């Protein structure tokens, strides 16, 4: 037997959508890349599983909306490379009170938008109701990404470009240095560059590198609601995605996608959850109150009267939130050959092609394609509190 290869140009830890896109860009640039994943793939223990995610250009923060043309282009490129459909255009409605600062910023982020009042909205999209005085801003280029399929596709192209993906292999420790040594449950690997994209595990994981990142894993209820009249919210009818901004009954926001993955069931979720440890995600007593479900039921009876008000299916996912809900995309403050991508705060999937490109550029010591000020580790005080 040939001895197992142990030296690479770059090692990436975590094969969710962010680590997989990072590895894809590195392999396309002819870097000999090892992508390590603790679980056997595919798995549903992290943040990238499930069949659907929203992609939209409407963003309150212009530093994300500016990335969206590049994201759409790179998603299309991946579709072409794999001959797979990964995106379905459905449009997206941003619902809220007119004048609400984030809603107005979303309007500005769209070159061309359309604003519908309550009457115009229910004429155009009969499933939706607004409260008096509220509006809906239409982002017509938005839609749904087929998430599981996308993750498979990006990993397939990574491998096709010569990348090595080793799943079922958990990283146990990292030894920093000019050459970084990574010890897993199955081997020891070395590379001059390391990228950590370990999702909800990142906070605890980087403590061994003297970093205290303010990352909070949240357990998210992914809820599907039955259409009272089958077919009314599916792709066959005119049914867009939506998200809310500035509603007093749901300050964190609520979002929804048309019935795609399960016929007759529309996905409507609270953009919030309860703090958790990713290793204990499912260990919740059955008596635990579910405030998210109450918020969603009340929203559905007012805004989506064509849906039943108790969820028909519930699944689980994880967010990893930063205090400002902006990502962390940066080099380790002490070990510049270690790059960290984390804190995607429940909105990172659509942006993964650009996140991967930026992490690749940071790792190779290149000038990043976008302004990185909002993603710097040092925006949080005391991160090196436990520095070695
Ligand atoms: C319910 C829900 C809905 C969402 N909706 C949207 C949406 O509509 N639009 C959007 O853009 N975004 C959305 N998001 C956010 C998006 O899905 C996440 O931002 C994204 O999936 C994060 O990817 P990740 O690669 O950082 O994390 P993960 O997918 O969790 O990947 C991290 C990987 O690292 C691995 N790992 C951890 N530790 C180790 C170790 N020691 N050794 C080896 N491997 C390790 C983990 O097993 C995991 O596979 C949503 C998220 C959720 C949960
Ligand atoms: O990122 C997205 O588009 C979704 C919907 C709004 C809340 C979070 N995720």
User: What are the pLDDT digits (tens) for 141-182?
Assistant: 999 999 999 999 999 999 999 999 999 999 999 999 999 999
Q: Which ligand is nearest to the CA of 58?
A: 2
* Contact 341 CB / ligand 2 (< 6 Å): no
* Contact 243 CB / ligand 2 (< 6 Å): yes
Contact at 8 Å (CB) between 351 and 329?
no
Residues 6+ positions from 96 with CB-CB distance below 8 Å: 102, 103, 134, 135, 244, 245, 246, 247
* Contact 346 CB / ligand 2 (< 6 Å): yes
Q: Which ligand is nearest to the CA of 317?
A: 1
Question: Topology of domain 92-140+216-320, per CATH?
Answer: D-Amino Acid Oxidase; Chain A, domain 2 (3.30.9)
What per-residue confidence (pLDDT) applies to 236?
A: 58
* Contact 245 CB / ligand 2 (< 6 Å): no
Cα separation, 275 vs 218, whole angstroms: 4
Interface ipTM above 0.90: yes
Q: How many CB atoms lie within 10 A of CB 99?
A: 9
What per-residue confidence (pLDDT) applies to 235?
A: 54
| Correct CATH for 10-49+148-215+324-379 of 3.50.50.60, 3.40.50.970, 3.10.105.10, 3.40.190.10 | 3.50.50.60
Cα separation, 69 vs 103, whole angstroms: 20
Ligand 1, residue 49: give the atom nearest the CA: 29
What per-residue confidence (pLDDT) applies to 388?
A: 47
Which residues of the chain fall below pLDDT 50?
Answer: 386-388
Cα separation, 268 vs 170, whole angstroms: 33
What per-residue confidence (pLDDT) applies to 387?
A: 46
* Contact 347 CB / ligand 2 (< 6 Å): yes
- Dihedral sign, Cα of residue 107, residue 139, residue 110, residue 75: positive
* Contact 54 CB / ligand 2 (< 6 Å): yes
What per-residue confidence (pLDDT) applies to 29?
A: 98
What per-residue confidence (pLDDT) applies to 382?
A: 93
What per-residue confidence (pLDDT) applies to 234?
A: 62
What per-residue confidence (pLDDT) applies to 238?
A: 67
Q: How many CB atoms lie within 10 A of CB 288?
A: 8
Cα separation, 89 vs 72, whole angstroms: 11
Start-end of CATH 3.30.9.10 domains in the chain = 92-140+216-320
Atom 15 (ligand 1) nearest CA: 346
Token pair of 146, please?
């087929």
- C-alpha dist (Å) from residue 292 to 45, 220, 276, 297: 20, 9, 15, 9
- Residue 346 Cα to ligand 2 middle (Å): 6
Start-end of CATH 3.50.50.60 domains in the chain = 10-49+148-215+324-379
């Amino acid at each position: 037997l040939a001895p197992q290869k142990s030296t690479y140009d770059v090692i990436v830890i975590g094969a969710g959508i962010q680590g997989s896109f990072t590895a894809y860009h590195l392999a396309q640039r002819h870097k000999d890349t090892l992508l390590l994943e603790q679980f056997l793939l595919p798995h549903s223990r992290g943040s990238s599983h499930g069949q659907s995610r929203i992609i939209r250009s409407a963003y309150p923060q212009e530093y994300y909306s500016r990335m969206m043309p590049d994201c759409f282009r790179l998603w299309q490129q991946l579709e072409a490379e794999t001959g797979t459909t990964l995106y379905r255009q459905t449009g997206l409605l941003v619902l809220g009170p007119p004048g609400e600062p984030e809603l107005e910023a979303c309007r500005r982020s769209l070159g061309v938008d359309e604003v519908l009042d309550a009457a115009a909205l229910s004429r155009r999209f009969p499933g939706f109701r607004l409260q008096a005085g509220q509006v809906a801003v239409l982002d017509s280029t938005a839609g749904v990404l087929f998430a599981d399929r996308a993750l498979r596709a990006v990993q397939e192209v990574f491998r096709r470009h010569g990348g090595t993906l080793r799943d079922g292999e958990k990283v146990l420790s990292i030894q920093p240095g000019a050459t970084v040594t990574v010890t897993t449950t199955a081997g020891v690997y070395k590379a001059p560059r390391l990228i950590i994209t370990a999702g909800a595990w990142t906070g605890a994981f980087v403590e061994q590198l003297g970093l205290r990142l303010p990352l909070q894993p949240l357990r998210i209820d992914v809820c599907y609601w039955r259409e009272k009249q089958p077919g009314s919210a599916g792709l066959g009818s005119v049914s867009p995605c939506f998200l809310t901004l500035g509603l007093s009954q749901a300050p964190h926001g609520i979002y929804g996608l048309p019935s795609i993955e399960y016929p007759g069931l529309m996905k409507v979720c609270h953009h919030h959850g309860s703090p958790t440890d990713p290793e204990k995600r499912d260990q919740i007593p059955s008596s635990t109150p579910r405030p998210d479900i109450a918020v969603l039921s009340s929203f559905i009876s007012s805004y989506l009267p064509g849906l039943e008000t108790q969820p028909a299916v519930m699944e689980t996912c994880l967010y990893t939130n930063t205090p400002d809900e902006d990502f962390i995309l940066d080099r380790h403050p002490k070990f510049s050959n270690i790059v960290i991508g984390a804190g995607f705060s429940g909105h990172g999937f659509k942006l993964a092609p650009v996140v991967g490109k930026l992490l690749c550029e940071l790792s190779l010591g290149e000038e990043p394609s976008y302004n990185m000020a909002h993603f710097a580790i040092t925006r949080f005080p005391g991160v090196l509190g436990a520095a070695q």
